[in-house]
Amino acid sequence: MNTPTSPHAPPRLQLAGITKSYPAVVANSDVSLSVEPGVAHAILGENGAGKSTLMKIIYGSVKPDAGTVHFNGQPVHIRNPQEARALGISMVFQHFSLFDTLTVAENVWLGLEKSLTLSEVTQRITAKASEYGLDIDPMRPVHTLSVGEMQRVEIIRALLTDPKLLILDEPTSVLTPQAVEKLFVVLKQLVAEGCSILYISHKLHEIRELCTACTVLRGGKVTGVCNPQQETNASLSRLMIGAEPPELVHHKVRTGSTVLSVQALDLPREDQFGVDLEGITLEVRAGEVVGIAGVSGNGQKELLYALSGEDTRAAAPMIQVFDRQVGKFGPGRRRALGVHFVPEERLGRGAVPTLGLAHNLMLTRRNAIGQSRWLPGWINVKALETQAQDIIRRFNVKAGGPNSAAKSLSGGNLQKFIVGREIDANPKLLIISQPTWGVDVGASAQIRGEILKLRDAGCAVLVVSEELDELFEISDRLHVIAKGRLSPSMDRAQATVTKIGEWMSGLWESPAGSEPVLRQAQDDRASDNSTGSVRTVLASGAQHA
């Protein structure tokens, strides 16, 4: 356990003249930074400003070209993450560093001291998860987890090392507001005990709540320092991107015919850790944005696989696009109908990490571009590069060019490219998961604005997000998914954080408006002989609903 430090203690971390260059970009240029003991210190900057590279240098996973690092007043040369952890530095990456085929406990075990047995690590994970409200099953294979659940694993793994400096790169990007509140209680306690925190987030209200110091990066250089608690969201935006993000323009909804219709979709889980989909009924019309909220791991992944065509087990009539029964159609046949899809996993599912951006266009649009007119079957590389360059320009993607490997982009810039790729295809139905995950405030406003433009042009849009503010901002109607079941829809004007939070627990009114339905209580009733608690929750829910 950390203990509060002396007021005369040296800085926990001190960087001087840190520089790191890559062939196409200077990620960090003469960066100096000082982090005091027992302080939450924010690193603020737009996508591609060099924040993640700087954190990787501190953690030993990237070697700087120049500069010095001092830790607790002593010069150090951190050659790898193992040496960083030995010093007391832990990091939660934006892009997770987990082995898919191993269990949660095995992944955590790899980063801890070898004297611990796997059984002991499993017990510690369970205890930490319960203590911090980050519930996770230690025995689950990582490949069965949602992105939000993977985030929890990374956070728990870092906390188990009892860090003196904890680096968090977008730690709340896929956590619900309730989970964020619980995490902040933990982080504030760590700070009170003397732990220093380096915190990267594009959520300005989080930075203002947690951090008392802030360093601003722009173009790889330090451009300012401040106390974020003395700033406003608007002033922090100006420090970060040089301007305030544009306000979204909402036009009156003019809905057309039904584009997507899902009727009584039932799908059993494909593995023991999945979620059964039960009676999913959903409709998305031309010219509207329908949002789906919910805690990660409640069936979002299974629903998206069924809608995108990755899972074709549904009966054909259960999923219809323009009245065509597509339940058995794969992704290619659905794209031919104008259905485009943005997955929550950027690397590996949304983009091939080692391929250039131009060639990544062919993942979803190989029948539309990049084919030679005179030599069928041959790739027209020039056409691909031109198309990719147009997307880079339109969505302000910071990249070395259309042939830059997807893995070379920052998380936010890759997200902008993937979203831009699908929007640029002029979809008739766009299904998008976590549209602004890890994206700065300016780019978030742009992506949300582009979604609204699509809607206004007559596209049907389905957005699955764990960002309630985002869903409130762009949705015309809202659903909540809980335990594989979907709530009735609610007009955005009627939605509140409190009501959506209740529905995330499975509590919502039946479509007929009669008895409130408590899904979770019904699931647990068989193992709970006391009906009094169920009646109490039902009564409480009825008052709020």
In a domain, 23, yes or no: yes
pLDDT tens-digit map of 469-497: 889 999 999 999 999 999 999 999 899 88
Task: Print burial letters for 526-543: b (CB count within 10 Å at least 16), e (below 16).
Answer: eeeeeeeebeebbeebee
Q: Are 351 and 414 in contact (CB under 8 A)?
A: yes
Lowest mean pLDDT among 325-334, 393-402, 438-447: 438-447
More confident residue, 317 or 24: 317
The mean of the pLDDT values for the chain is 85
Same domain, yes or no: 160 and 235 = yes
User: How does DSSP classify residue 322?
Assistant: T
pLDDT at 165: 96
pLDDT at 185: 86
More confident residue, 158 or 306: 306
Tell me which residue range forms the domain holding 410: 339-425
Distance CA 2, CA 383 (A): 57
**480 exposure class (CB count in 10 Å sphere: 0-12, 13-18, 19+):** buried
pLDDT tens-digit map of 409-438: 887 889 999 999 999 999 999 999 999 887
Please work out, in degrees rounded to the nearest 5, the angle formed at the alpha carbon of residue 529 by the alpha carbons of 527 and 530: 125
pLDDT tens-digit map of 383-405: 899 999 999 999 989 888 999 99
Q: Which amino acid makes up residue 348?
A: G
Same domain, yes or no: 353 and 318 = no
The total domain count for the chain is: 3
* Residue 6: pLDDT over 60: no
pLDDT tens-digit map of 19-49: 999 887 889 999 999 999 999 999 998 888 8
Helices (H), 160-255: 177-192, 204-210, 233-241
Residue listed under structure tokens 């082995």 = 99
In a domain, 511, yes or no: no
Closest residue by Cα to residue 112 from 166, 71, 156: 156
pLDDT tens-digit map of 65-111: 999 999 999 999 999 998 999 999 999 887 777 888 999 999 999 87
Lowest mean pLDDT among 17-26, 62-71, 177-186: 177-186
In a domain, 31, yes or no: yes
Calculate what percentage of the chain has a pLDDT beyond 70.
87
Which of 211, 241, 271 lies at the terminal end of a domain, its last residue?
A: 241
Distance CA 43, CA 22 (A): 21
Distance CA 387, CA 397 (A): 13
Distance CA 341, CA 343 (A): 6
At 25, list the tokens: 């970009």
Distance CA 233, CA 245 (A): 10
pLDDT tens-digit map of 264-284: 999 999 887 789 999 999 999
CATH of the domain at 131: 3.40.50.300
Strand 165-169 relative to strand 319-321, pairing: unpaired
Same domain, yes or no: 162 and 53 = yes
Distance CA 298, CA 481 (A): 6
Same domain, yes or no: 189 and 51 = yes
Report the run of H or E that residue 258 belongs to, with start and end. strand 258-267
**Residues facing residue 277 across a β-bridge:** 267
* Residue 224: pLDDT over 50: yes
Q: How many of the other CB atoms lie within 10 Å of CB of 77?
A: 10
Distance CA 505, CA 503 (A): 5
Confidence of residue 202 (pLDDT cuts 50, 70, 90): confident
Q: Which amino acid makes up residue 480?
A: V
Distance CA 195, CA 172 (A): 19
Distance CA 538, CA 545 (A): 10
In a domain, 509, yes or no: no
* Residue 518: pLDDT over 70: no
Same domain, yes or no: 313 and 436 = yes
Which of 202, 221, 241 lies at the terminal end of a domain, its last residue?
A: 241
pLDDT at 195: 94
| pLDDT, average across residues 46-70 | 92
Please give the distance of CA 47 from its chain centroid, rounded to a whole number: 14
Report the run of H or E that residue 324 belongs to, with start and end. strand 324-325
pLDDT at 178: 67
Inter-helix orientation angle 531-544/497-504, to 10°: 150
Of 103-107, 239-243, 250-254, give the range with the top mean pLDDT: 103-107
| pLDDT, average across residues 60-66 | 94
Going 395 to 398 to 404 to 406, the CA torsion angle's sign is negative
> What are the CA-CA distances from residue 471 to residues 376, 444, 497, 503 (Å)?
43, 12, 11, 15
Same domain, yes or no: 437 and 316 = yes
Of 5-9, 51-55, 108-112, 377-381, give the range with the top mean pLDDT: 51-55
pLDDT at 4: 53
Confidence of residue 516 (pLDDT cuts 50, 70, 90): very low
* Residue 5: pLDDT over 70: no
**130 exposure class (CB count in 10 Å sphere: 0-12, 13-18, 19+):** exposed
pLDDT at 374: 61
In a domain, 149, yes or no: yes
